[in-house]
Amino acid sequence: MDRTNLATALTDLLFTPGLDLHEAADRHFAPDYRQRTNGQWDDRDGFLAHIAHLRTVVAEGSIEVHDELYDGSHYADRHTIQVTKKDGSAVRTEVYLFGDFAPDGRFRRVEEVTCMLEGADADRNLGSAR
């Protein structure tokens, strides 16, 4: 089974501005996708609203995956995401993530906890900002 991974998904969603948001989401996230970030649940529409907002704020960035595990339909990773915002400021966040895949290899559920390593206090909610 071909399965997505978080680095590829985030690169398409955030760092490939010419790629349509919904096309990027369809590549990596099932129609019934749900995500919990720091305790707050969003359905797929809420998640896409978050990504649409980030696309207006983020100029560029990168993802470094430190640990990544697949076990059947389960997925876990620890990664650091570095973004440069359009105002020139930088934000670096470490993320601990657990998820499940749909049978077609796209994410069906992700639960994550974020820890900002660098950035302004106002950026602490960047992981769920809209």
Q: At what angle do helices 21-28 and 6-14 cross, to 10 degrees?
A: 170
| pLDDT band at 99; cut points 50, 70, 90 | very high
Average pLDDT in the chain: 93
Residue 77's pLDDT band, with cuts at 50, 70 and 90, is: very high
Mean pLDDT across the stretch 48-65?
95
Burial class (CB in 10 A: 0-12, 13-18, 19+), 14: buried
Cα–Cα distances (Å) from 93 to 5, 10, 31, 54, 96, in that order, read 18, 13, 27, 14, 10
Residue 96: band (very low, low, confident or very high) from pLDDT cuts 50, 70, 90: very high
Distance of CA 111 to the CA centre of its chain: 10
Amino acid 129: pLDDT: 60
Q: Please give the pLDDT value at position 14.
A: 95
Average pLDDT over residues 7-29: 95
Instruction: Compute the distance between CA of residue 33 and CA of residue 47 in angstroms, rounded to an integer.
Output: 9
Residue with tokens 């106002």: 122
Residues forming beta bridges with residue 81, ordered by sequence position:
63, 93
Q: Which amino acid is at 127?
A: G
pLDDT at 128: 57
Neighbours of 5 (CB within 10 A): 19
For residues 68-95, give the mean pLDDT: 96
Categorise residue 22: left if φ over 0, alpha if ψ from -120 to 50, beta otherwise: alpha
